Amino acid sequence: MSSPERQKALKGMKDVLPPDIYLWQKVERTASELFSAYGFREMRTPVAEATAVFSRGIGEGTDIVEKEMYTFEDKGGRSITLRPEGTASAVRCFVENQLHTLPSPQKYYYLGPMFRYERPQSGRYRQFYQIGAEVFGSAAPAVDAEVMSMLRHFLMRLGLGSLNFQVNSIGCEECRPGYKQALLAYFAPVTGDLCPDCQRRYLHNPLRILDCKVRRCIELRKDAPRVTEHLCTGCEAHFRKLLDLLKLLNVPYTVNHEMVRGLDYYTRTTFEVTSEDLGAQNAVTAGGRYDNLVRNCGGPDTPAFGFATGIERIVDLLKQTLLPPEPAPAIFIAALGEQAHDAAMVIADGLREEHIWVELGEPAASLKSQMRKADRLSSEYVFILGDDELNSGLISWKRLSDGTAGKVSRADVGSFLSGRR
Ligand SMILES: [Zn+2]
Ligand SMILES: [Zn+2]
């Protein structure tokens, strides 16, 4: 008989186990606590959506939609996609649930897995996790600044140092066409020298030439017109006010005229956050304003702003500076004999109800091996329960860190820990 085939997790997907999981929980807890203070509430959307949610929301011409989506047909012949990012789902949810009828602005955060069929490389996964936030229903630059400030506090609280917010404005429907014309005119004499991707971008989305990483293209765009010189009055005022507020809130920023972001839906503000702890080249977080997306997805005219941040990279960084804390039981009960073990189960049950972590020894194990196990688990206290203890109603205890010992009556077990920590 052949042995059963051993299965592996899919390429680019991985298990998260203790002790790493404690760092994940720390990141998630920090987000939900801090974001709540800014009035954000959690929105939990399905991981799968109709493909149109993303092709409409993210944009047909983007790398994500063209190359990276997990798209399949379900048994009913519908085209389904595993979400490659959070904003399009959040917008679908906002429109479907008519959240615009609630007082504006509506603020939501989300966290969970995203899926992109990318070539797995170090630190990149096909199932990866993001924490994001979206504000619906305000066009005020105050929203952009408030969210960026929240993000700064979030990353700092997790210990990320030397943060830099790179900000830009890519204009609106009114002023961007003029800027595109200026870019096309600038690149027209040199289109043949651009990389093949940029030659395509020249025809479809010339702004994206600005974030091409090919050296030739970087060189060619040296003197390209800057988007901030082509902003309409409204976009100009928005950008100025944003920069003023960032200064006021101590958000460290640099204006980066070349940062256009890869997504079509942005209007006005775009930004990325880098941390020197992660190598200044790599953005930890990115986001921006998307004032037309809700309307383009069938909702009412609703300006919006949001960001998403990857969890894996933050956890990797935390791991370098912070040993994942391995939690330990408060009490280990070493019980000798069946009767004592039965009694120990009752005691443990009562303590666990009070959210005290209690471990029990194996029913048939010797005292020595149970003590060894308590030690290996780094339990704070050991309770020893044998015939003597059962008869007298007094349980022997020992504190493993300093060897102190004593007795506690069964009736007082519940309050035992309160005076001792
Ligand atoms: Zn404008
Ligand atoms: Zn290029």
Q: Is the pLDDT of residue 175 over 80?
A: yes
240-286: pLDDT as tens digits: 999 999 999 999 999 999 888 766 688 999 999 998 877 766 788 99
Ligand 1 mean position, distance from CA 225 (Å): 16
**Ligand 2 centroid to residue 264 C-alpha, Å:** 18
Lowest mean pLDDT: which of 29-38, 62-71, 219-228? 62-71
**What sign for the dihedral angle of Cα 23, 24, 29, 31?**
positive
The CA distance from 29 to 25, in Å, is 6
Question: In the structure, what pLDDT confidence band is assigned to residue 3 with cuts at 50, 70 and 90?
Answer: confident
Q: What is the mean predicted confidence (pLDDT) over 181-203?
A: 93
Indicate if the pLDDT at residue 140 is higher than 70. Answer: yes
Spacing, Cα 312 to ligand 2 middle (Å) = 29
Q: Which ligand is nearest to the CA of 221?
A: 2
User: What is the distance in A from the centroid of ligand 1 to the CA of 137?
Assistant: 18
Distance 214 CA to ligand 1 centre (A): 29
Separation of 242 CA from ligand 1 center, angstroms? 15
Is residue 323 scored above 90 in pLDDT?
Answer: no
Can 20-173+248-321 and 331-413 be said to share one CATH topology? no
Q: Closest ligand to 268 CA?
A: 1
pLDDT at 1: 59
Tell how far the Cα of 144 is from the centroid of ligand 2, in angstroms.
30
Q: Which of the ligands is closest to the CA of residue 289?
A: 1
pLDDT at 204: 85
Task: Report the interhelical angle of 51-58 vs 87-96 (nearest 10°).
Answer: 110
Question: Can you read off the two tokens belonging to residue 329?
Answer: 């039981």
The mean pLDDT value for 129-137 works out to: 98
Q: In sequence order, what are the residues at sequence separation of 6 or more whose Cβ sits closer than 8 angstroms to the Cβ of residue 219?
A: none
Helix H, strand E, coil C: the string for the chain is CCCCCCCCCCCCCCCCCCCHHHHHHHHHHHHHHHHHHCCCEECCCCCEEEHHHHHHHHCCCCHHHHHHCEEEECCCCCEEEECCCCHHHHHHHHHHCCHHHCCCCEEEEEEEEEECCCCCCCCCCCEEEEEEEEEECCCCHHHHHHHHHHHHHHHHHCCCCCEEEEEEECCCCCCHHHHHHHHHHHHHHHHHHCCHHHHHHHHHCHHHHHHCCCHHHHHHCCCCCCHHHCCCHHHHHHHHHHHHHHHHCCCCEEECCCCCCCCCCCEEEEEEEEEHHHCCCCEEEEEEECCCHHHHCCCCCCCEEEEEEEHHHHHHHHHHHCCCCCCCCCEEEEECCHHHHHHHHHHHHHHHHCCCCEEECCCCCCHHHHHHHHHHCCCCEEEEECHHHHHHCEEEEEECCCCCEEEEEHHHHHHCCCCCC
- Give me ligand 2 centre to Cα 57, in Å: 25
What would the CATH number be for the domain defined by 331-413? 3.40.50.800
For the segment(s) 20-173+248-321, the CATH number from 3.30.930.10, 2.40.70.10, 3.20.20.140, 3.40.50.300 is 3.30.930.10
Residues with CB under 5 A from ligand 1 (ion): 171-172, 174-175, 232, 235
* Confidence at residue 416, expressed as pLDDT on a 0 to 100 scale: 86
User: At residue 166, does pLDDT exceed 70?
Assistant: yes
Provide the pLDDT for residue 66: 82
pLDDT band at 87 (very low <50, low <70, confident <90, very high): very high
Closest listed ligand to the CA of 234: 1
CA–centroid distance, 267 to ligand 1, in Å, is 8
Would you kindly state where each structural domain of the chain is located, as residue ranges?
20-173+248-321, 176-230, 331-413
How far does the centroid of ligand 1 lie from the alpha carbon of residue 292, in Å? 13
C-alpha 12 to ligand 2 mean position (Å): 28
C-alpha 212 – ligand 2 centre gap (Å):
5
Phi, psi values for residue 352, rounded to 5°: -65, -30
Ligand nearest to the CA of 187: 2
Q: Rounded CA gap, 148 and 141, in Å?
A: 11
Between the CA of 211 and the centroid of ligand 2 the distance, in Å, is: 8
Per-residue pLDDT tens over the stretch 341-376: 999 999 999 999 999 999 999 999 999 999 999 999
What integer pLDDT is reported at residue 417 of this predicted model?
Answer: 85
State the Rg of the chain over Cα.
28
Distance CA 399, CA 335 (A): 16
Q: What is the arithmetic mean of pLDDT over 138-147?
A: 98
Q: Considering every ligand atom shown, identify the ligand nearest to the alpha carbon of residue 237 and give its number.
A: 1
Ligand nearest the Cα atom of residue 235: 1
Distance 182 CA to ligand 1 centre (A): 15
